[in-house]
Structure 1
């Protein structure tokens, strides 16, 4: 009898555990689990930071945090410290804002991590550990016939940014992103991608040529770039003609990117047939200056600076590409940069 009771109790425990687990799974599915997916956006209209909760594509909410900058570009978020950083174009410096997660829309945020005003025209920001790299697209030598740019490398420590070194490039810069220790950079005013192998090992202030440059077929003029290492997907934007900011832009999704990059020799072309292009009047892409990518949902987020004065756009179900309409479209004047965080 004792053994039968023990077996009965054990069976009941298993059943209760199973039911509890099943209820927990159902709750998680209803709420989309505890993960929050946030999209951070900067702009060149007022310098404020807009945060979009994109956890559910059916119910996207946003809040705006007020900064002292009047124009800004590259943006980055650190979920461990709940801190957001951006390159201030009005101050020509990096600025960091701490403990922002619980702030409500309209909150005025003060700079908690300060940096010196070294740059002339800061654009995208790429981060590797405590090193922040900012692409500056100002003309270095004053001769527009000789394209060039600068990559400013800052170390963040003890609540401030210190300039470690400056790399001058032999092409104009805009978007940059890291793949491990390699830095990918768009070659502004062209359809090219540049690769700097082991970029951060260059600790001196110097002039540096890219380790490799390739042509991305189908792009007219590229600006935005992002890379997801987990899915090995690279996304680049095409602003096409700078004079048309309304309807001639697009973006390219390149899957299995590492193998395709390795198979394309220096100076050669990555064929359009190896990419997926999204472009056309329905996309609302005229001047897509930056891009972020969510590999889990295969969603592309765009900072569109031109169409309608500026928008944040999102695309999914990309498939074979084409003239797709965004599933999310929110006005943001002079949108300049986006960064996606899963936390």
Structure 2
């Protein structure tokens, strides 16, 4: 998910003054990062609430839980400029934005700032580009389970309202999505592929069935789900066998756009000299369904759905690759999505 990095003393001080509850289920293994405040927002399928982790000091992680209207939610996005958090509700099948996140206390029921109509069927991820909010939906579009298809619901946000602008159908199952500039990258679910749609929002303004500009397979991945991008580094998760809770992984691809562009449509981005894979028993990865990345702190953030019933994991300096332990390991039942807000102090 795209992150907004910003420098604002007022917001940092106001958040720092809020008391946060300690998370007894959090294990940490690294030194604090003193120059940044790192907040990780997580949705889940178990109760739909939002959990916020302050991992600025990995040895002293604090958490707050915000109550929402939903009992099941997936995508999550935080807009620091408005201090609003948006979720894709699988309970009400709509987008909901909640206000005053930075001044909300642990256990509070969040106030609705904006909502949309109940258009969604099986929402998974949110990608944001300005006032355009795209939701990936992996419901069966044509009613035939033997054919691959999925949808993107395209909303515009103005004031307290999300308005469905149009819906586009694609010929593959969808999950994670990410805007990079005006281009949209999308996971081709049930495969190891990533699809690219150039100038997605401006070129797809009506209800239609569209074809990706390009699809590229990622060598080494069995089945990808989540993706996160920052400063030309892409994180792609691999859930492996969905029924197994210990075979997950993620790949780190630096200079991603150059490497992706160099591969022909329908071909494969090889591992050698292109990718770093993190996997193994020490990682706690089974079904990593969502990812985010911050280049300033070189940190990968993962929502792990299966291992231990659900976890929010962070990995600092994961580009060493291999069977590495997470820097922060927090249990969260049904963890379904993560979004990281990193603020330079």
Does the pair score TM above 0.5? yes
Displacement of 1:31: 9.1
Cross-structure match for 1:192: 193
Residues 38-93 of structure 1 deviation map (CA, whole Å, 9 limit, x = unaligned)? 11100000000011112222322110000110000000001011110000001110
Provide the rounded CA distance (Å) in 2 between the counterparts of 1:317 and 1:162. Answer: 40
Cross-structure match for 2:154: 153
1:261 aligns to what SS in structure 2?
helix
Cross-structure match for 1:226: 228
Cross-structure match for 1:98: 99
Cross-structure match for 2:6: none
Given that 2:84 and 2:113 are in contact with CA atoms closer than 8 Å, whether structure 1 keeps it comes out as no
Cross-structure match for 1:308: 308
Cross-structure match for 1:36: 37
Cross-structure match for 1:182: 183
Which structure: greater strand fraction? 2
Please say if 1:332 is aligned against 2:329: no
Cross-structure match for 1:215: 217
Stretches of structure 1 lacking an aligned partner (at least 5 in a row): 1-29
Cross-structure match for 1:18: none
Equivalences for residues 277-296 of structure 1 within 5 A:
277-296=277-296
Provide the rounded CA distance (Å) in 1 between the counterparts of 2:115 and 2:255. Answer: 39
Provide the rounded CA distance (Å) in 2 between the counterparts of 1:271 and 1:137. Answer: 27
Cross-structure match for 2:12: none
Please say if 1:76 is aligned against 2:77: yes
Equivalences for residues 54-73 of structure 1 within 5 A:
54-73=55-74
Cross-structure match for 2:247: 248
Q: Please say which of residues 267-276 and 35-44 is displaced more in the overlay.
A: 35-44
Cross-structure match for 1:110: 111
- Matched pairs, number: 310
1:308 aligns to what SS in structure 2?
helix
Residues 223-243 of structure 1 deviation map (CA, whole Å, 9 limit, x = unaligned)? 001111x2x100000000111
Provide the rounded CA distance (Å) in 1 between the counterparts of 2:301 and 2:120. Answer: 27
Which structure: greater helix fraction? 1
2:53 aligns to what SS in structure 1?
strand
Higher relative contact order (CA 8 A, sep 6+): 2
Displacement of 1:291: 0.5
TM-score, normalization by structure 1 = 0.88
2:260 aligns to what SS in structure 1?
helix
1:67 aligns to what SS in structure 2?
coil
2:308 aligns to what SS in structure 1?
helix
Residues 162-215 of structure 1 deviation map (CA, whole Å, 9 limit, x = unaligned)? 000001010000000001000000000000000000101110110001000000
Provide the rounded CA distance (Å) in 2 between the counterparts of 1:324 and 1:280. Answer: 7
Stretches of structure 2 lacking an aligned partner (at least 5 in a row): 1-31
Provide the rounded CA distance (Å) in 2 between the counterparts of 1:233 and 1:280. Answer: 22
Displacement of 1:155: 0.6
